[in-house]
């Protein structure tokens, strides 16, 4: 199992939540920090407000063996609402709606199996692409979900489950319609004039379904098939987006939906509730099928919207990755961004107060499964591009934003991966810059259909949990903030002295558990290392404990390790080193990639709040050593001349003494080139330099090489760092041909 790795940098962020005015997922019982529908809430902003920074520890998984595909937005709900001491998760996985009680991550960093508390069957021929929506109706917690096409009835189903008693959920409504091919959207539950209405799109049947006369679900908690009425609003194109509730110019409510007419045509349709619905004897009826407004788009509108807090702005992208803002009061577009236009997309945006994040999935059509994708950040007010982040495989999900109590935010994007090249992963991006802070690799395959694979479903964040649905089940992480520190390093050289060449010293290092998560969180496999840097060479040392015994080696990564149990604990280790003429510094580090992530001699094992304090170093001064370097700088790198005319090349060489030890030292300084060497012996004091101007005259085109060397002139001193005692450069001579003369052209050369 791949271990989670993530680095996090705090960005300034302020997010003000707004509460919807509908029957809704986020009102009624304090669910605004929960994920209760597609896009997290009724505004579909995909922003999760959390207590801790996203230091992700693997917690649990389900349905990996045998694998079950999920396209679902996982719901993350406060366990207190169900009498649980941990958050509960609800997701559609395979052909079932499943409920989980989350497990706490463990310090060993391994995923734990977590079978569902319950699994309720869903209709349809395959895994649903609909997303569950949870609402509170008079204290009853009901989950609405649509299904894939069911060939046995020739239509699709709407199913409703009561999960109030989380350990004993029950189905309270199920019915199907032949005029609904499949329900890809999340059902939208709306209170119109006190009447319960459910809105779904219908896939290939090119219409919107309005499920009315559903009030018994509020009154008694159960509705029999056939007691509802379903009305249809016909549209010329596939409908798959989740409808969004909007405010119109007169202050009344409407809803927006996308129409997919292919790669080169689409529509945005807006309906006004009071125009299409009437009431007769207390029951709603359909009085008009006409949209309030339709707007033509140059490509199909496949995915869904994010909505502003006042519900007057829609943010969305078409299937060719044009990103739009549409004003529902003015009924016109506010802006369109075409920076990544032409890239296929069937996913929805995320929304912060100043930024829209949109996933350009990749390729030019749904079948380009191995094409790289992107996430674009667009200024919400102006429509201008802020940044674009590129991936090596499809940007497979809607982005999600992890926010931390007004202090910072990070954007998460799920990728498909490419078989044999890259794993499905979660990328973590800075919301302000798009900088990639890290990846969470997932132990699932990148194969599958064109709709989705790898991270095939959606990303949810809430209650310090990250939950992801994939083509091989569901995975969850907890945010566990820890911080480890490399406190100090003592070289062992007596204070006030310099190291003597050839002498062995014992260095001492202190490591510390700077911050634990506030609960018992012992860490037994913290990788540690120390290094002696000689010139440009990094030499790894062998660490010992205070008793002189070698530290143990963890076979999993071949690193020496220490254990720290709780906040404030320290461990002291030692290592031996021998001073060399080129000794520059000693370095000690723990739990980080050193010297870099591409060629590490030390690796990260545990995720942390920060790794800025994971490395400590001390410079080494070696007794009696001096350091001289040579540099070479041509006046120009390209010299031009005319046929038969000479050009004089000028190159400046310099010998510089880098150290500040007292006294002068003799230096033999040579600059050589096509005209032969020029050598001088000079005496340089601390920080002194000597210059040689080398000239060479030629009329022959070509490339000419020059070299400068600065070395000890005798045996009275030894250079500390020989690699910079030599410098080389090249210049090029070009002959410029004059144009031929004719009766109309006369050229004169004046001067040089």
Q: How far apart are CA 171 and CA 41, in angstroms?
A: 23
What pLDDT, on the 0 to 100 scale, is given for residue 407? 66
Lowest mean pLDDT among 31-40, 267-276, 607-616: 31-40
The torsion of the CA quartet 429, 431, 433, 434, rounded to 10 degrees, works out to 30
pLDDT tens column, 240-255: 999 999 999 999 999 9
| Interval 466-478 mean pLDDT | 92
Q: Among the listed ranges 356-365, 416-425, 603-612, which one has the minimum average pLDDT value? A: 416-425
Q: Is residue 167 part of a domain?
A: yes
pLDDT confidence of residue 415:
87
Q: Are 596 and 452 in the same domain?
A: no
Could you give the C-alpha distances from 304 to 157, 296, 308, 434, in angstroms and in order?
A: 21, 16, 14, 23
Residue 134 has pLDDT above 70, yes or no: yes
Is the pLDDT reported for residue 693 higher than 50? yes
Count the domains in the chain: 3
Beta partners for residue 180, in sequence order: none
In whole angstroms, give the CA distance from residue 280 to residue 271: 20
pLDDT for residue 742: 55
Count the Cβ atoms, other than its own, within 10 Å of residue 393: 24
Residue 571 sits in a domain whose CATH number is: 2.60.40.10
Residue 536 lies in a domain: yes
What is the pLDDT confidence band of residue 563, given thresholds at 50, 70 and 90?
Answer: very high
Strands 56-62 and 676-684: unpaired
Q: Is 496 exposed, middle or buried (0-12, 13-18, 19+ CB in 10 A)?
A: exposed
Report yes or no on 745 lying in a domain.
Answer: no
What is the pLDDT of the chain when averaged over all its residues? Answer: 89
Residue 748 in this model has a pLDDT that exceeds 80:
no
The pLDDT, as a whole number, for residue 16 is 24
Q: Whole domain around residue 540: which residue ranges?
A: 483-619
Chosen domain end from 479, 508, 533: 479
Residues 543 and 596 in one domain: yes
Same domain, 441 and 318: yes
Record the tokens describing residue 457, joined without a space. 């479903």
pLDDT (tens digit, 9 = 90+) per residue, 336-349?
999 999 999 999 99
Is 633 in the same domain as 602?
A: no
Residue 321 CA from chain centroid, whole number = 19
Q: What is the pLDDT of residues 165-189, one digit of tens each?
A: 999 999 999 999 999 999 989 999 9
Q: Is residue 17 part of a domain?
A: no
Cα–Cα distance measured from residue 433 to residue 429, given in angstroms and rounded to the nearest whole number: 8
Pairing between strand 400-404 and 47-50? parallel
Q: How would you list the strands of the sheet with 355-360, edge to edge?
A: 350-351, 355-360, 374-379, 385-390
Task: Please give the pLDDT value at position 26.
Answer: 33
Q: Are residues 493 and 472 in the same domain?
A: no
Domain boundary among 619, 653, 677: 619
Per-residue pLDDT band at 728 (split at 50, 70, 90): very high
Q: What pLDDT does 15 receive? A: 24
What is the per-residue pLDDT for 556? 87
Burial of 429 per CB tally in 10 Å (0-12, 13-18, 19+):
buried
Q: What integer is the mean pLDDT of 231-245?
A: 96
Does residue 725 share a domain with residue 663? Answer: yes
Helices and strands (DSSP H and E) totals, the chain: 2, 54
Q: Is residue 104 part of a domain?
A: yes
Mean pLDDT of 147-157: 97
Q: Are residues 337 and 418 in the same domain?
A: yes
Percent of the chain with pLDDT over 90: 75
Write out the E strands in 140-228.
140-146, 156-162, 170-177, 188-192, 195-201, 207-212
Specify the pLDDT at position 425.
Answer: 83
Residue 192 and residue 284 in contact, taking contact as beta carbons nearer than 8 Å: yes
Of 375, 372, 412, 414, the C-alpha closest to 396 is 414
> What percentage of the chain exceeds 70 in pLDDT?
91
Q: What is the pLDDT of residue 282?
A: 87
Cα-based distances in Å from 678 to 201, 238, 694:
84, 80, 8
What band does 383 get if pLDDT is binned at 50, 70 and 90? very high
Residue 621 has pLDDT above 90, yes or no: no
* Strands 473-479, 56-62: pairing kind: antiparallel
pLDDT band at 424, cuts 50/70/90? confident
Gap between the Cα atoms of 105 and 594, Å rounded = 27
**Residue 248 falls within a domain, yes or no?**
yes
Same-domain check for residues 649 and 564: no
- Give me the pLDDT at residue 4, please: 32
Mean pLDDT of all residues in 568-593: 95
Assess whether pLDDT exceeds 70 at residue 448. Answer: no
The C-alpha atoms of residue 30 and residue 28 are separated, in whole angstroms, by 6
What average pLDDT does the segment 457-471 reach?
92
Grade residue 408 by pLDDT with cuts at 50, 70 and 90.
confident
Q: Is the pLDDT of residue 55 over 70?
A: yes
Measured between alpha carbons, how far is residue 185 from residues 144, 243, 366, 574, 635 in Å? 11, 8, 18, 61, 67
pLDDT for the residue 13: 23
> What's the rounded Cα separation, in Å, for the pair 34 and 61?
20
The contacts of residue 696 (CB under 8 Å, 6+ apart) are 648, 649, 651, 673, 674, 675, 704
Residue 153: the pLDDT is 97
Are 451 and 497 contained in the same domain?
no
Going by their DSSP bridges, the two strands 638-641 and 726-735 should be labelled as parallel
In a domain, 686, yes or no: yes
Whether 224 and 181 map to the same domain: the answer is yes
- Residue for token pair 């920074």: 53
How far is it, in rounded angstroms, from Cα 305 to Cα 49? 20
Q: Which residue has the higher pLDDT, 484 or 63?
A: 484
- Is there a domain that residue 3 lies in? no
Q: How far apart are CA 563 and CA 527, in angstroms?
A: 9
> Is residue 102 within 8 Å of residue 86, measured between CB atoms?
yes
Same domain, 286 and 193: yes
Tracing tokens 């802006």 back to the chain, one arrives at 335
Whether residue 111 is predicted with pLDDT greater than 60 in this model: the reply is yes
Whether 494 and 527 map to the same domain: the answer is: yes
Burial 315-347 (b: 16+ CB within 10 A, else e): bbbbbbbbbbbbbbeeeeebbbbebbbebbbbb
Instruction: Classify residue 715 as exposed, middle or buried by CB count within 10 Å of its CB (0-12, 13-18, 19+).
Output: exposed
Whether pLDDT at 27 is above 80 = no
- The pLDDT value recorded for residue 128 is 94
pLDDT at 3: 32
What's the predicted TM-score (pTM) here?
0.78
Contact 4, 438 (CB under 8 A): no
> For position 251, which CATH number holds?
2.130.10.10
Average pLDDT over residues 664-668: 96
Question: In the predicted model, is pLDDT for residue 715 greater than 90?
Answer: no
More confident residue, 630 or 109: 630
In the predicted model, what is the mean pLDDT of residues 189-206?
Answer: 95
CA distance 380 to 377: 9
Range 346-374 average pLDDT: 88
**Residue ending a domain, choose from 582, 599, 619:** 619
């Amino acid at each position: 199992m791949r271990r989670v790795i993530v680095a996090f940098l705090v960005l300034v962020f302020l997010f003000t939540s707004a509460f919807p005015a509908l029957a809704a997922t986020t009102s009624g019982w304090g669910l605004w920090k929960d994920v209760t529908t597609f896009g997290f809430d009724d505004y579909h902003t995909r922003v999760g407000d959390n207590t801790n920074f996203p230091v992700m520890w693997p917690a649990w998984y389900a349905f990996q063996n045998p694998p079950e595909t999920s396209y679902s937005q996982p719901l993350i709900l406060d366990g207190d609402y169900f009498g649980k001491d941990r958050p509960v998760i609800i997701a559609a996985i395979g052909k079932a709606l499943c409920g989980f009680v989350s497990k706490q991550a463990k310090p060993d960093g391994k995923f734990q199996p977590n079978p569902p508390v319950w699994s309720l069957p869903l209709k349809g021929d395959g895994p649903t692409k609909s997303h569950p929506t949870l609402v509170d109706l008079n204290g009853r917690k009901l989950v609405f979900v649509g299904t894939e096409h069911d060939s046995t009835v020739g239509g699709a189903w709407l199913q409703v489950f009561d999960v109030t008693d989380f350990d004993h959920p029950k189905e309270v409504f199920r019915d199907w319609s032949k005029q609904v091919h499949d329900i890809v959207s999340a059902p939208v539950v709306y209170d119109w004039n006190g009447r319960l209405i459910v809105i779904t799109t219908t896939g290939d049947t090119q219409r919107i379904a309005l499920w009315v006369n559903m009030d018994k679900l509020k009154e008694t908690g159960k509705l029999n098939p056939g007691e509802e009425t379903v009305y249809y609003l016909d549209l010329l194109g596939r409908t798959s987006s989740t409808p969004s509730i909007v405010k119109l110019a007169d202050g009344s409510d409407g809803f927006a939906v996308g129409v997919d007419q292919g790669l080169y045509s689409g529509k945005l349709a807006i309906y006004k509730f009071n125009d299409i619905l009437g009431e007769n004897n207390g029951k709603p009826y359909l009085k008009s099928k006409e949209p309030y407004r339709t707007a033509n788009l140059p490509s199909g509108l496949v995915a869904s919207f994010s909505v502003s807090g006042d519900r007057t702005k829609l943010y969305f992208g078409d299937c060719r990755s044009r990103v739009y803002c549409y004003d529902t009061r003015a009924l016109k577009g506010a802006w369109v961004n075409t920076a990544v236009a032409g890239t296929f997309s069937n996913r929805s945006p995320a929304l912060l107060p100043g930024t829209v994040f949109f996933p350009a999935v990749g390729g030019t059509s749904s079948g380009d499964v191995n094409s790289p994708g992107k996430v674009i950040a667009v200024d919400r007010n102006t429509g201008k591009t802020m940044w674009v982040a590129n991936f090596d495989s499809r940007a497979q999900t809607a982005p999600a934003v992890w926010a931390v109590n007004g202090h910072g935010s990070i954007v998460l994007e799920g990728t498909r991966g490419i078989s044999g090249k890259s794993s499905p992963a979660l990328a973590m991006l800075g919301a302000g810059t798009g900088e990639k802070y890290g990846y969470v690799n997932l132990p699932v395959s990148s194969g599958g259909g064109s709709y989705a694979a790898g991270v095939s479903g959606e990303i949810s964040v809430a209650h310090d949990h990250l939950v992801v649905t994939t083509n091989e089940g569901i995975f969850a992480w907890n945010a566990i903030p820890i911080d480890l520190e490399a406190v100090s390093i003592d070289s062992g050289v007596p204070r006030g002295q310099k190291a003597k060449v050839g002498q062995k010293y014992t260095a001492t290092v202190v490591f510390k558990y700077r911050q634990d998560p506030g609960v018992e969180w012992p860490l037994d496999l913290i990788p540690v290392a120390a290094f002696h840097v000689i010139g440009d060479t990094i030499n790894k040392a062998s660490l010992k404990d205070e008793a002189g015994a070698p530290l143990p080696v963890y076979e999993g990564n071949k690193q020496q390790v220490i254990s720290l149990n709780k906040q404030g604990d320290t461990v002291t280790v030692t290592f031996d080193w021998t001073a060399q003429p080129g000794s520059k510094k000693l370095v000690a580090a723990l739990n980080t990639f050193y010297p870099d992530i591409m060629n590490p001699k030390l690796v990260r094992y545990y995720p942390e709040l920060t790794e800025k304090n994971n490395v400590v170093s001390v410079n080494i001064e070696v007794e009696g050593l001096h350091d001289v370097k040579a540099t070479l700088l041509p006046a120009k790198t390209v010299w031009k001349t005319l046929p038969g005319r000479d050009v004089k090349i000028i190159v400046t060489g310099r010998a510089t003494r880098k150290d500040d030890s007292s006294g002068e030292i003799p230096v033999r300084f040579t600059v050589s080139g096509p005209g032969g060497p020029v050598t001088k012996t000079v005496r340089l004091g601390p920080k002194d330099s000597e210059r040689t101007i080398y000239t060479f005259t030629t009329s022959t085109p070509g490339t000419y090489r020059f070299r400068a060397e600065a070395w000890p002139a005798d045996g009275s001193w030894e250079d500390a760092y020989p690699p910079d005692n030599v410098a080389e450069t090249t210049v090029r001579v070009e002959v410029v041909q004059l144009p031929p003369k004719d009766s109309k052209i006369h050229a004169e050369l004046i001067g040089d």
